[in-house]
Amino acid sequence: MNSQLELLIKVQAIDTRIQQSEAVQAKYNQEIAELDQALQKEETAYTAEKEALQTMEKEHRRLERALEEALSRRDKAQDKLFSVKTNKEYTAALHEIEGIKESIKKQEDGILEVMEQSDTLKKTLKKTEEILKKIRGEYGRKKKQLDDELTCYLEEVEEQKVLRTSLADAVNPQALLDYTKLREAKNGLAVVAAQYERCMGCNMKIPPQTYNLVITSTEIIHCPSCRRMLYIEPEPENVTQSPAGN
């Protein structure tokens, strides 16, 4: 095989690896985004539940203050009964007390309802907090794993880039330029095998004379159809095993 082709095949393998690294990084970014989204969703739910509980506790305090005020007004109204002088004043005082008692009942019912809702929210908040803690732990472990895997992969790619530079330096400048143009035009595949008189890049039949040149020529031969550089893959060596005991 042409020595330039051998170098270009290696260069192309590295270029493909480098190109794949972009897909790997995109996949990494997507997985991290999904982790972030899951964590953010749970944190948002936790924050909303926490704020709801705080609002409920605030309402509880308001109702308790209102109840204290109502109880104080009731006590004053009851004391007032002892100072009334007419039936009309007495009736009015009783009516006022009944109104205050209704208010007290309303405040007490409201407090009970708020307490029940607060207890439910506390239980829900506790479960959400446990889930959030678990997700945060999984997020940290998974992100570290992905970071480590990506770092290792990119370090390998950087090593490949250094190797590519040394290989490319050994390629004839014109051949490297042709390779670069073909790679850009042919979706990253500039050098392909020729098998059974067909180009494995475009799958078109290669004329017999051209196919023979691919096999025998020391020059770089291009596919007449797609212009890719062609090479013949070497036949695997047959290894004859001796019978056991010989």
Q: What is the mean pLDDT of the chain?
A: 88
Kindly tell me if the per-residue pLDDT of 103 is higher than 50: yes
pLDDT 10s digits, 26-58: 888 888 888 888 889 889 989 999 999 999 999
Tell me what pLDDT residue 235 has. 61
Single-letter amino acid code for the residue at 55? T
List residues bridging with 194 in a β-sheet.
199
Nearest CA to 106 out of 77, 74, 70 is that of 70
pTM of the entire predicted model? 0.56
pLDDT 10s digits, 172-192: 999 999 999 999 999 889 999
Tokens 């596919």 belong to 223
Q: Quick one: what percent of the chain has pLDDT higher than 90? A: 50
Phi, psi (deg, nearest 5) at residue 205? -70, 140
Q: How far apart are CA 105 and CA 83, in angstroms?
A: 26
pLDDT 10s digits, 205-216: 999 999 999 999
Average pLDDT of 235-240? Answer: 51
State how beta strands 198-199 and 191-195 pair: antiparallel
Q: In the sheet where 229-231 sits, what is the strand order?
A: 198-199, 191-195, 229-231, 221-222
Q: Answer with the residue of higher pLDDT: 214 or 153.
A: 214
Tell me what pLDDT residue 236 has. 54
User: For 77, what's the count of Cα atoms within 13 Å in the CB-facing half-sphere?
Assistant: 19
CATH number listed for the domain at residues 7-169: 1.10.287.1490
List residues bridging with 222 in a β-sheet.
229
Query: Domains of the chain: which residue ranges?
Result: 7-169, 173-231
Q: How far apart are CA 178 and CA 176, in angstroms?
A: 5
Q: How far apart are CA 210 and CA 192, in angstroms?
A: 15
